[in-house]
Amino acid sequence: MTAALLGPAFVFLIAFVVLPVLTVGALALLNFDPLSQETSFAGLENWHRVLASQELWQATGNTLLYTALTVPFEVGGGLLIALAIRAAGRGAGLWRTAYFAPTAATLAAMSVVWRWLFYPHVGVFDETLGRLVGQDGWLGSTTLALPAVAIVGSWAGIGSCVVMFLAGLSNVPAHLEDAARMDRAGAWHRFWSVIWPAIGPATTFALVITTRDSLRVYDQVRVMTDGGPQQSTSTLSFTAWQRGVSYLDIGGGSVVNTVLLVLVLITVAVQLRLGGRRWEEDGRR
Amino acid sequence: MKRVPTTMATVRGEQAEQVSSSRSVGVEAMTKVYPGGRRALDGVELAVEPGTFVVLLGPSGCGKTTLLRCIAGLERISAGRVVIGGEDVTHREPGDRGVAMVFQNYALYPTKTVLENIEYPLRMVKVPRQARHRQAREMAELLRLGPVMGSRPAQLSGGQRQRVGIGRALVREPNVLLMDEPLSNIDAELRGELRAEIRRLQRRSSTTTFYVTHDQAEALALADRLVVMRDGRIEQDGPPEQVYQEPATRFVASFLGGMNMLDLTRSQAVLPAQLRATLAEDRLGWLGVRPEDLRVVARPEDATGAELVLHGTVEGNELLGRERLVHFRTRGDQRARVRIHADQTVPAQITVVANSADIHLFDTAGRRLSGTLPLSSGSR
Residues contacting residue B59 through CB under 8 Å, at least 6 positions apart? B214, B230, B255
Q: What is the pLDDT of residue B10?
A: 46
Q: A182 and B95 in contact by Cβ < 8 A?
A: yes
Q: How confident is the model at residue A51 (pLDDT cuts 50, 70, 90)?
A: confident
Give the nearest chain B residue to A188 (CA atoms): B124
Q: How confident is the model at residue B4 (pLDDT cuts 50, 70, 90)?
A: very low
* CATH (domain of A158): 1.10.3720.10
Q: Which domain-ending residue is among B196, B223, B245?
A: B245
Residues of A in contact with B114 (CB under 8 A): none
In-domain check, residue B97: yes
Pairing of strands B53-57, B225-230: parallel
What is the number of structural domains in chain A? 1
CA distances from A121 to A126, A148, A202 (A): 5, 15, 42
Report the distance separating Cα A257 and Cα B302, nearest Å. Answer: 98
Do B217 and B305 lie in a common domain? no
Whether the pLDDT of residue B303 is over 90: the answer is: no
Model ipTM? 0.79
Do B69 and B145 lie in a common domain? yes
Do B157 and B257 lie in a common domain? no
Torsional sign, CA B339, B217, B215, B255: positive
List the single best residue of B112, B124, B171, B210 to mutate versus A (max A Cβ within 10 A): B124
Do B216 and B324 lie in a common domain? no
pLDDT digits (tens, 9 = 90+) for B8-52: 444 445 555 555 678 889 988 899 999 888 899 998 999 999 999
In-domain check, residue B328: yes
Residue B154 sits at φ, ψ, to 5 deg, of -60, -20
Contact (CB, 8 A) for B123 and B109 = no
Do B188 and B131 lie in a common domain? yes
Q: Which domain-ending residue is among B245, B263, B289?
A: B245
Do B286 and B325 lie in a common domain? yes
In-domain check, residue A43: no
CA distances from B369 to B237, B266, B279, B334, B376 (A): 17, 18, 9, 21, 10
pLDDT digits (tens, 9 = 90+) for B82-130: 999 888 999 999 988 989 999 999 999 988 999 999 999 999 988 999 9
Report the distance separating Cα B23 and Cα A205, nearest Å. Answer: 48
Do B72 and B214 lie in a common domain? yes
Q: What is the pLDDT of residue A283?
A: 66
Return the percentage of chain B with pLDDT > 90, whole number: 52
Report the distance separating Cα B265 and Cα A227, nearest Å. Answer: 91
Report the distance separating Cα A259 and Cα B27, nearest Å. Answer: 70
Residues in chain A: 285
Report the distance separating Cα A202 and Cα A196, nearest Å. Answer: 10
Of B108, B124, B152, the CB nearest to A189: B124
Q: What is the pLDDT of residue B2?
A: 41
CA distance B54 to chain A (A): 20
In-domain check, residue B378: no
In-domain check, residue B379: no
Report the distance separating Cα B41 and Cα B33, nearest Å. Answer: 7
In-domain check, residue B39: yes
In-domain check, residue A209: yes
CA–CA–CA angle A77, A278, A87 (5° rounding): 35
In-domain check, residue B86: yes
Residue type, B257: G
Do B260 and B346 lie in a common domain? yes
Q: Is A194 helix (H, G, I), strand (E, B) or coil?
A: helix
Mean pLDDT for the stretch of residues B123-146 = 91
Buried b (16+ CB within 10 A) or exposed e, A90-114: eeeeebbeebbebbeeebeebbeeb
Q: Is A181 helix (H, G, I), strand (E, B) or coil?
A: helix
Alpha helices in chain A (DSSP H): 2-13, 19-27, 45-51, 54-88, 92-104, 107-117, 124-127, 129-133, 145-169, 174-182, 187-190, 196-198, 200-215, 219-220, 236-241, 250-271, 277-284
Report the distance separating Cα B206 and Cα B211, nearest Å. Answer: 14
In-domain check, residue A20: no
Between helix A250-271 and helix A19-27 the angle, nearest 10°, is: 130
Q: Which domain-ending residue is among B201, B220, B245?
A: B245
CA distance A179 to chain B (A): 6
* CATH (domain of B165): 3.40.50.300
CA distance B122 to chain A (A): 8
Q: Identify the domain containing residue A185 by its residue range.
A: 55-284
In-domain check, residue A73: yes
- Tally A–B CB contacts below 8 A: 67
Report the distance separating Cα B283 and Cα B265, nearest Å. Answer: 9
**DSSP states along B99-155:** EEEE-TT----TTS-HHHHHHHHHHHTT--HHHHHHHHHHHHHHTT-GGGTTS-GGG
Q: Which helix (H) or strand (E) holds B228?
A: strand B225-230
Report the distance separating Cα A154 and Cα A160, nearest Å. Answer: 10
Q: A285 and B152 in contact by Cβ < 8 A?
A: yes
Q: Is A205 helix (H, G, I), strand (E, B) or coil?
A: helix
Residues of B in contact with A184 (CB under 8 A): 93, 95-96, 121, 124-125
Q: What is the pLDDT of residue A151?
A: 87
Mean pLDDT for the stretch of residues A118-141 = 76
B154 in contact with A, Cβ within 8 Å: yes
CA distance A91 to chain B (A): 17
Could you tell me which residue, B185 or B14, shows the higher pLDDT?
B185
**Of B147, B152, B65, B143, nearest in space to B108 by CA:** B152
Residue B29 sits at φ, ψ, to 5 deg, of 45, 45
CA distance B153 to chain A (A): 8
Do B345 and B368 lie in a common domain? yes
Q: What is the DSSP letter of B322?
A: S
CA distances from A160 to A71, A111, A166, A217 (A): 12, 18, 10, 15
Of A182, A184, A186, the CB nearest to B101: A182
Look at A180-184, A214-218, B261-265, B370-374 and tell me which has the smallest mean pLDDT. Answer: B370-374
Residues of B in contact with A186 (CB under 8 A): 124
Whether the pLDDT of residue A105 is over 60: the answer is: yes
Residues contacting residue A5 through CB under 8 Å, at least 6 positions apart? none
Do B130 and B32 lie in a common domain? yes
In-domain check, residue A8: no
Residue B132 sits at φ, ψ, to 5 deg, of -75, -35
**Of B56, B31, B59, nearest in space to B45 by CA:** B31
Report the distance separating Cα A263 and Cα A62, nearest Å. Answer: 13
Nearest 10 degrees: CA dihedral of B194, B195, B198, B204?
-110
CA distances from B15 to B8, B9, B25, B98 (A): 11, 10, 19, 17
Residues contacting residue A45 through CB under 8 Å, at least 6 positions apart? A31, A251
In-domain check, residue A3: no
Q: Identify the domain containing residue B203 by its residue range.
A: 20-245
**How much is the mean pLDDT over chain B?**
86
Of B69, B121, B153, the CB nearest to A183: B121
Whether the pLDDT of residue B380 is over 50: the answer is: no
Q: A178 and B124 in contact by Cβ < 8 A?
A: no
In-domain check, residue A168: yes
B122 in contact with A, Cβ within 8 Å: no
What is the number of structural domains in chain B? 2
Q: What is the pLDDT of residue B379?
A: 38
In-domain check, residue B141: yes
CA distances from B257 to B246, B247, B323, B366 (A): 12, 10, 15, 17
Do B276 and B202 lie in a common domain? no
Q: Edge-to-edge strands of the sheet including B323-330? A: B295-297, B349-354, B308-319, B323-330, B335-341
Report the distance separating Cα B245 and Cα B257, nearest Å. Answer: 10
Report the distance separating Cα B70 and Cα B229, nearest Å. Answer: 15
Q: A183 and B154 in contact by Cβ < 8 A?
A: no
Q: What is the pLDDT of residue B236?
A: 93
Do B90 and B60 lie in a common domain? yes
In-domain check, residue B195: yes
